[in-house]
């Protein structure tokens, strides 16, 4: 179910030679679609194609700080839809956990706020949730913290359209600790992204359109010798200099720069299963998933 373009053997040889212990993985919404969480930009199934009913200036407005401050209802209505279900980590989340277990993962950077990496058992220290998480919320006035259980109760059981702080004297709006457009990314991202990327010896990019900055541009700053594997169901990253045999920009002139990029076209779960098989880690991966 996958098509591999580019020098994958070189990346795998690195693994097999056990030279690697600083793998950086980068994830986006595409690693969670197999858990039934929609991504943002897929033409028919992405969230941004399904927001007409909220009558927004643009689909992205629902995640903009400026818009949220004026009208937080669409944000919470959307959140309600998402919180209605229980989600489980995918094969891809467990593959990232496997990299940690094998002692080769330097850091996993995720744009996702679903917390499925944690649920798959990655340790706190290995994850950077660049866009925050829905698992903790805070009062926008007094900064009190609230759990996901509390938020679910407010939105799904009590059916409030906006959750307000429990403190009667405060009554500020409570929202999840996610980064909205117009807000800075956390200090943890800023520090880790520049440090880790410099040290990275293999970059694996999975399930992201690489359209949102400053996250996307991180991939440009790995060392020049660092192989980059992209696993995605559509080609991505050419605008950031990812070049592999078969990509639109691939020609004689760029061929000399194309020696290190690999594109595995297909579902993330199939791509990581392929990698695990090549590395003879298939059984380990199955054990983690609980198969």
Could you list the residues known to form a binding site for Zn(2+), using ranges: 139, 142, 165, 170
Nearer to ligand OAD, 99 or 268 (CB): 268
Our finding on whether 41 is near ligand OAD (CB under 6 A) is yes
Site residues for ligand OAD, window 241-260 (CB under 6 A)? none
Structure tokens at 160: 């409030």
192 part of the interface to ligand OAD, by CB under 6 A: no
Distance CA 25, CA 8 (A): 16
CA atoms of 113 and 115, how far apart (whole Å): 6
Query: Across-strand partners of 231?
Result: 206, 264
Q: State which of residues 97, 107, 118, 131 lies at the interface with ligand OAD (CB under 6 A).
A: 131
Sequence-ordered list of residues with C-beta below 8 angstroms from that of 75, at least 6 positions apart, any chain: 62, 63, 68, 175
Reduced to 3 states, what is the DSSP secondary structure of residue 204?
strand
In the three-class reduction of DSSP (H, G, I as helix; E, B as strand; rest coil), residue 196 is classed as: helix
Instruction: Give the integer Cα–Cα distance in Å for 8 and 145.
Output: 45
Read off φ and ψ for residue 23, nearest 5 degrees. -80, 135
Q: How far is the CB of 178 from ligand OAD (least distance, A)?
A: 7
Binding mask 89-128 for ligand OAD (x = CB under 6 A): ----------------------x-----------------
Residue choice 114, 196, 233, 261 for contact with ligand OAD (CB under 6 A): 233
Look up residue 120 and give its two tokens: 């798959």
Give least dist CB 70 to ligand OAD, A: 17
Stretch that binds ligand OAD, among 100-108, 149-157, 205-213, 221-229 (CB under 6 A): 205-213
Task: Tell how far CA 17 is from the center of its chain.
Answer: 28
Q: Using CA atoms, how far apart are residues 92 and 100, in angstroms rounded to an integer?
A: 13
CB of 155 to ligand OAD, least distance (A): 18
Residue in 40, 76, 95, 281 binding ligand OAD, rule: CB under 6 A? 40
Q: 131, 221, 239, 274: which one is catalytic?
A: 131
Question: If binding is defined by CB under 6 A, does position 268 make contact with ligand OAD?
Answer: yes
61 binds ligand OAD (CB under 6 A): no
Q: How far apart are CA 106 and CA 20, in angstroms?
A: 10
Residues that bind ligand OAD (CB under 6 A): 28-30, 33-34, 39-42, 46, 63, 111, 131, 179, 181, 207-209, 211-212, 232-234, 236, 267-268
């Amino acid at each position: 179910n996958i098509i591999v373009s580019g020098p994958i053997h070189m990346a795998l040889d690195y693994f097999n030679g056990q030279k690697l212990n600083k793998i950086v993985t980068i994830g986006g919404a595409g690693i969670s679609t197999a858990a039934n969480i929609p991504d943002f930009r897929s033409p028919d199934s992405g969230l941004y194609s399904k927001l007409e009913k909220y009558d927004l200036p643009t689909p992205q407005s629902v995640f903009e700080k400026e818009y949220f401050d004026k009208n937080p209802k669409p944000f919470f209505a959307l959140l309600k839809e998402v919180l209605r279900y229980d989600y489980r980590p995918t094969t891809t989340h467990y593959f990232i956990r496997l990299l940690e277990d094998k002692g080769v993962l330097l850091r996993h950077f995720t744009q996702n706020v679903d917390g499925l990496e944690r649920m798959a058992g990655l340790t706190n220290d290995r994850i950077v949730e660049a866009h925050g998480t829905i698992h903790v919320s805070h009062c926008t006035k007094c900064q009190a913290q609230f759990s996901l259980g509390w938020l679910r109760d407010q939105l799904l059981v009590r059916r409030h359209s906006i959750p307000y702080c429990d403190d009667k004297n405060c009554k500020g709006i409570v929202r999840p600790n996610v980064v909205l457009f117009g807000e800075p990314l956390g200090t943890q991202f800023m520090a880790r992204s520049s440090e880790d990327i410099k040290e990275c010896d293999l970059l694996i990019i999975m399930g992201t359109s690489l359209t949102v900055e400053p996250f996307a541009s991180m991939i440009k700053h790995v060392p020049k010798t660092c192989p980059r594997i992209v696993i995605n169901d559509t080609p991505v990253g050419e605008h950031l200099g990812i070049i592999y045999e078969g990509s639109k920009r691939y020609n004689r002139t760029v061929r000399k720069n194309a020696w290190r990029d690999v594109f595995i076209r297909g579902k993330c779960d199939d791509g990581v299963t392929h990698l695990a098989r090549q590395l003879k880690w298939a059984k380990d991966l199955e054990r983690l998933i609980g198969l």
